[in-house]
Every structure is written in structure tokens, then in C-alpha cells.
Amino acid sequence: MLEVCPLAALPRGEALRVESDPPIAVFHTDDGEIFAIDDTCTHQDASLADGWVEGCEVECPLHASRFDLRTGAVDAPPAKLPVRTHEVVVSDGTINVVLNAAPPNLPPGVTTNAVGKAGQ
């Protein structure tokens, strides 16, 4: 489990990027839910933590692909592959993330050194 930050440090409507390998985006939605997904868009190298969140959906800041924060599924092109989701555990006022063991869907040209690496 990866400790992210105190819950109080991530207000509703905000997102942050965890510099793990590969990086993870953690979102606190306007409705008060917290989600964690791979930060890198599966279409091209862009940080989804910089994206536009509406409801349970994030729009990539570059090419406007949309992903469902709950499932990682593609809601709108040009992305075709889902992002991985990670389980979020909030305990003692701290946000933690349980890393998904599945291989990530990284875009062309982006690699990971993490064990179980994939992407290309």
C-alpha cells in the first residue's frame, strides 16, 4: 500500500499526481469520492491529474479522451485502452492506494521500470 497524503491536503475538486512508476493520479471528486487511476493517458503522454473532472469522469487535458474514474473504461475517444484503477483506502485521515497488479496500458513511447512491466 502506498501512502499518498493526508485527506485534508486534497480538497474536493482537486487531483494530485503521485510520482510512482508509473505515476498515479488521485482524484477527490465534487461529490466527495476518492479515486486512483494510472496518471498517464493511454492514448498519448499526458497527465490525467491535469484533466477536467465531471462527475465520475476525467477528460484528458490534451486530446479530450475520457475515462470513467470508477472502472478506468474509455468513455470517449481517441483513447481506446482503459487506464488501470487502484483501490483507495482512507484510514486515520490519510489517503492510501493499493497498487493494481495488472500491467498498465501505457501510450506509445512511455515505459515503466516497475516489476511486471508492460505497455509496449
Partner 1 sequence: MIGASLAGLSAARALRRQGFDGELTIVGAEARRPYDRPPLSKEFLAGEIDEGDLALELDDENLDARWLLGAHATGLNTGAGAVTLGDGTEVRADGVIVATGARARSLPGTQHLAGVHVLRTIDDALALRKDLRPGARLLVIGAGFIGAEVASTATKLGLDVTVIEVAGTPLANTLGGMLGAAVARLHSRHGTRLFCGVRVSGLTGTERVTGVKLADGRQLAADVVVAGVGAIPNVEWLNGSGLELANGVVCDAGGATSIPNVVAVGDCAAWYEPCVGAVHRVEHWTGARERSAIAVSTLLAGHYQGDPVKPPYFWSDQYGCRIQFAGFARPDDQITFEAGDLNDHSFLAVYRRDERPVAVLGVDQPRLFTRIRRQLEPLPTAS
Q: Select from 6, 55, 77, 103 the one that contacts partner 1 (CB under 8 A).
A: 77
Helices and strands of the chain, counted as H and E runs: 0, 10
Q: Select from 18, 26, 74, 106 the one that contacts partner 1 (CB under 8 A).
A: 74
Q: Select from 1, 108, 111, 118 the one that contacts partner 1 (CB under 8 A).
A: 108
Given the C-alpha cell 516497475, which residue does it identify?
114
- How is the beta sheet containing 85-91 ordered, strand by strand? 2-6, 94-98, 85-91, 34-38, 24-28, 14-18
3 or 45: CB nearest partner 1: 45
Least CB distance to partner 1 at residue 64 (A)? 5
Strand-pair partners of 86: 36
Site for partner 1 in 6-65 (CB under 8 A): 46-47, 49-52, 61-64
φ, ψ (nearest 5 deg) of residue 50: -85, 0
Residues that bind partner 1 (CB under 8 A): 46-47, 49-52, 61-64, 74, 76-78, 80, 108
